[in-house]
């Protein structure tokens, strides 16, 4: 599937370029824009971006590969990021991640067969006082139990399908 | 100028000098992987630590400018301890596979390890596995595990070639250098990244596993690949020539050279050479009073000098033809090093011709030669690869009925029953003395390395033979000249181990 940068996104990138002293500063907002539309950032997207921005592919790739919040592989409609850093791990974060994987029969980092869910473990998301927690797409869900987490995901799934 | 003291040595350096340059100027040992004189400062390897008087903390010498009266040293236990630990950090994920690494013997990390290695590693965790033997195009191979992330190669593609292919991807202990999506690294200067790589992470496909570097000697000379005339080092041993690397030359190539120039050594090896003379006795016979001579801009100034002097003094009717390989591309330049004129001494030829009042007629095949009955001297270019019409002209020359003398570096296949043709083997740039004038007239001296073909002579030496009365005896002597001992492949590994 070839990647096509829509005109509105292209204009967004061109506008971002004007905002900063250095072109390099516009890389992160541009990557986020693509991720928001596509769910992930493909190598083709980097090539297209490189052309639009007039920056070398390798330099954009350096930024893309450095930050974990950019998805370098396709993700499901619900991207579930379960924190497994100290506080969450002590309160069952790892087990929670395992449970969700089991429930939706998906390996960590992969997309479930229905294309709905991707589970990844992440480091601290800064909500230690509400451990364990997870982030689904842009939203935090805190003070979870295994049951409540599954319930939340089921509800979200319904919303996406419905 | 600023006065400073480095490890007890007093010296003066210009303003803006980095401390590491002062260390090197004072001939003091200082480890450095990421710093390279031809690139910007990165300050990432943290090994050029030094102690500056009045400064409580150690500083990296590569990113500290010398100040008036600065007293710095890297001899104290404190510095050594820090460097030892820095070294250990570099080795956390380095595989230490020196025995199978092509860089062994000229590796910065290896040298440093001999001095500062902990020998018993204090790392409890397993090493992070990274990619090995990644092909980066036709010239370079990457081994990510060996990389210490000094970023020299990345800075090279950013700052020197400005092609920006390389980058450091991922982060933390998973950081790796690479090209975007493993695209081939095909710029015309790619192998320089191999030269500046302080470890064995980037190796050259051409040279990989051909020779251990400690079995090679090097000879400083001039690259004959084009009219830029980069200063280079040619690495050789008794099996022949193996590689060419750039040598620092502030006026010409600084630290770099092009990849094309690195291939300009294969025709020096004896298996590709005209290694004996054919019908040399022809040169003794009283020959015609007319002579046509075809030459290229690939000989040294000394050779042209003696040739033109001979022509002027010989009372023959002489016409000199100048064979230009690609005149329409002569002025091409890629704004870095590569020039379209693929001859090392065009300037030298033209200047010497003017000096001796020799007219150079353009050579464009043997079309006007049918009615000519006199002698012909044909001096073949040594780098025949840059002469597209080489084969065609040689073939035509061999059909001539004139008394023809061919001076050749590459092998010339000739029917030995044709008594009118004599072939005399020439020396290459690697074997002869003399100098080239590069595109802007800079004189660059060649240094004679070991002879690859024992019966070969430089053009000026042949001319002095022709002038003497006993040409035949000389050639006889020449054929008896001892060549360098031929060695079998890998002989060292068979016999060198005898303790």
Domains and CATH numbers, chain A: 7-66 (1.10.10), 78-161 (3.40.30.10)
pLDDT at B390: 93
Q: Is the dihedral of CA B5, B11, B17, B18 positive or negative?
A: negative
What is the Cα–Cα distance from B485 to B122, expressed in whole angstroms?
49
What are the strands, taking DSSP E only, across B273-425?
A: 290-295, 317-322, 360-362, 375-379, 404-408, 421-425
Q: For domain B271-480, give the fold.
A: Rossmann fold (3.40.50)
Indicate the CATH number for domain B94-209.
3.30.70.20
Q: Do B168 and A46 touch (CB under 8 A)?
A: no
According to the model, what pLDDT value does residue B499 have? Answer: 43
Q: Which of B167, B170, B171 sits opposite A58 (nearest CB)?
A: B167
> What is the predicted pLDDT for the residue at B496?
46
Q: What is the pLDDT of residue B280?
A: 81
B310's tokens: 């001979």
Would you give the DSSP letter of residue B435? Answer: E
For chain A, first and last CA: distance in Å? 27
> Please, what's the b/e burial string for B228-250 (b: 16 or more CB within 10 A of its CB; e: otherwise)?
bbbbbbbbbbebbbbbbbbbebe
How much is the ipTM here?
Answer: 0.85
Q: Which residues of B touch A61 (CB under 8 A)?
A: 167, 169, 180-181
**A-chain residues near B181 (CB < 8 A):** 43, 46, 57, 61
Q: Strand pairing partners for B233? A: B220, B245
| Series of mean pLDDT values for 10-residue runs along chain B (499 residues) | 94 94 94 92 93 94 94 94 89 90 91 83 84 93 94 96 95 93 94 95 92 91 94 91 94 94 88 86 76 93 93 88 89 92 94 93 86 90 92 91 91 85 92 93 92 88 81 73 56 47
Distance CA(B178)–CA(B134), nearest Å, equals 9
Cα(B103)–Cα(A119) distance, integer angstroms:
43
Flag if A58 and B171 touch (Cβ within 8 Å): no
Residue ranges per structural domain of chain B: 2-90, 94-209, 271-480
Helix and strand counts by DSSP (H, E) for chain B? 12, 21
Best of B142, B162, B167, B190 to disrupt the A interface (most A CBs within 10 Å) is B167
Whether the ω angle into residue A132 lies within 30 degrees of 0, i.e. cis, is yes
User: Looking at chain A from residue 66 to 125, which residues have their Cβ under 8 Å from any Cβ of chain B?
Assistant: 66
Q: How high is the pLDDT of residue A1?
A: 57
Give A60-112 pLDDT, tens digit per residue. 999 999 998 899 999 999 999 999 999 999 999 999 999 999 999 999 999 99
- Dihedral angle, C-alpha B299, B271, B423, B397, nearest 10 °: -80
DSSP state of B126: P
Residue with tokens 């967004």: A12
By Cβ distance, the residue of B157, B171, B180 closest to A61 is: B180
According to DSSP, the residues that pair with B446 across neighbouring strands are B434
Does the beta-carbon distance from A66 to B170 stay under 8 Å?
Answer: yes
Best CA proximity match to B171, nearest among A71, A85, A62:
A62
Q: What is the pLDDT at residue B497?
A: 44
**Minimal Cα distance from B175: which residue of A?**
A66
The third-level CATH classification (topology) of the domain covering B2-90 is Ubiquitin-like (UB roll) (3.10.20)
Query: Could A57 and B168 be called an inter-chain contact, meaning their C-beta atoms sit closer than 8 Å?
Result: no
pLDDT at A44 over 90: yes
Which residues from chain B sit within 8 angstroms of residue A123, using beta carbons?
none
B181: left (phi over 0), alpha (psi -120 to 50) or beta: left
**What's the confidence (pLDDT) of residue B122?**
74
Task: Count other C-beta atoms under 10 Å from residue B353's C-beta.
Answer: 17
């Amino acid at each position: 599937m070839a990647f096509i940068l829509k005109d509105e996104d292209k204009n967004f990138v061109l506008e971002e370029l004007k905002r900063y002293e250095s072109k390099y500063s516009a890389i992160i907002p541009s990557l986020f824009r693509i991720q928001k539309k596509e769910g992930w950032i493909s190598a083709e997207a980097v090539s297209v971006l490189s052309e639009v921005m007039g920056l070398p592919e390798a330099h954009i790739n350096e930024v893309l590969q450095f930050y974990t919040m950019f998805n370098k592989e396709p993700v499901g409609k619900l991207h579930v990021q379960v924190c497994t850093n100290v506080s969450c791990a002590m309160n069952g974060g790892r087990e929670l991640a395992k449970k969700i994987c089991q429930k939706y029969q998906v390996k960590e980092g992969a997309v479930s067969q229905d294309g709905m869910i991707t589970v990844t473990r992440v480091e601290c998301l800064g909500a230690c006082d509400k451990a364990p927690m997870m982030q689904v797409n842009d939203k935090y869900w805190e003070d979870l139990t295994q049951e409540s987490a599954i319930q939340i995901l089921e509800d979200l799934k319904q919303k996406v399908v419905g | 100028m600023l006065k400073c003291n480095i490890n007890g040595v007093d010296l003066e350096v210009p303003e803006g000098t980095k401390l590491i340059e002062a260390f090197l100027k004072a001939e003091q040992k200082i480890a450095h992987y990421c710093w390279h004189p031809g690139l910007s400062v990165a300050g990432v390897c943290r090994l050029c630590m030094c102690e500056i008087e009045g400064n409580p903390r150690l500083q990296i010498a590569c990113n500290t400018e010398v100040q008036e009266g600065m007293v710095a040293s890297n001899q104290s236990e404190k510095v050594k301890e820090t460097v030892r630990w820095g070294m250990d950090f570099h080795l956390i994920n380095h595989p230490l596979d020196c025995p199978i690494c092509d860089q062994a013997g000229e590796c910065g990390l290896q040298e440093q390890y001999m001095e500062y290695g902990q020998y018993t590693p204090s790392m409890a965790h397993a090493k992070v596995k990274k990619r090995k033997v990644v092909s980066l195009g036709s010239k370079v191979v990457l081994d990510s595990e060996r990389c210490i992330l000094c970023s020299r190669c990345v800075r090279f593609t950013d700052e020197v070639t400005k092609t920006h292919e390389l980058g450091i991807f991922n982060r933390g202990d998973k950081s790796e250098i690479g090209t975007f999506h493993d695209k081939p690294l095909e710029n015309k200067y790619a192998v320089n990244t191999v030269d500046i790589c302080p470890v064995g992470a980037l190796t050259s496909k051409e040279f990989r596993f051909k020779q251990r570097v400690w079995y090679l000697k090097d000879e400083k000379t001039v690259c004959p690949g084009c009219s830029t005339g980069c200063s280079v080092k040619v690495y050789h041993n008794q099996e022949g020539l193996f590689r060419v690397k750039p040598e620092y030359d502030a006026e010409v190539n600084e630290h770099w050279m092009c990849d094309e120039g690195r291939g300009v050594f294969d025709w020096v090896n004896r298996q590709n050479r005209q290694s004996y003379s054919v019908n040399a006795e022809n040169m003794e016979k009283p020959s015609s009073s007319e002579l046509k001579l075809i030459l290229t801009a690939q000989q040294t100034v000394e050779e042209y000098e003696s040739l033109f002097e001979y022509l002027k003094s010989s009372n023959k009717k002489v016409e000199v033809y100048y064979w230009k390989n690609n005149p329409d591309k002569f002025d091409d330049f890629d704004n870095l090093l590569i020039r379209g004129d693929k001859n090392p001494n065009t300037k030298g030829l033209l200047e010497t011709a003017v000096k001796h009042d020799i007219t150079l007629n353009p050579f464009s095949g043997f079309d006007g030669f049918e009615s000519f009955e006199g002698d012909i001297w044909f001096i073949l270019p040594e780098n025949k690869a840059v002469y597209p019409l080489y084969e065609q002209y040689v073939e035509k020359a061999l059909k001539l009925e004139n008394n023809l003398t061919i001076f050749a570096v590459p092998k010339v296949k000739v029917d030995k029953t044709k008594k009118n043709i004599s072939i005399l083997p020439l020396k290459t740039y690697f074997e002869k003395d003399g100098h080239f004038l590069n595109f802007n007239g800079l004189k660059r001296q060649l240094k004679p390395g070991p002879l690859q073909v024992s019966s070969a002579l430089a053009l000026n030496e042949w001319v002095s033979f022709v002038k003497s009365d006993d040409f035949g005896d000389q050639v006889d002597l020449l054929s008896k000249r001892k060549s360098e001992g031929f060695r079998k492949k890998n002989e060292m590994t068979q016999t060198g181990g005898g303790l």
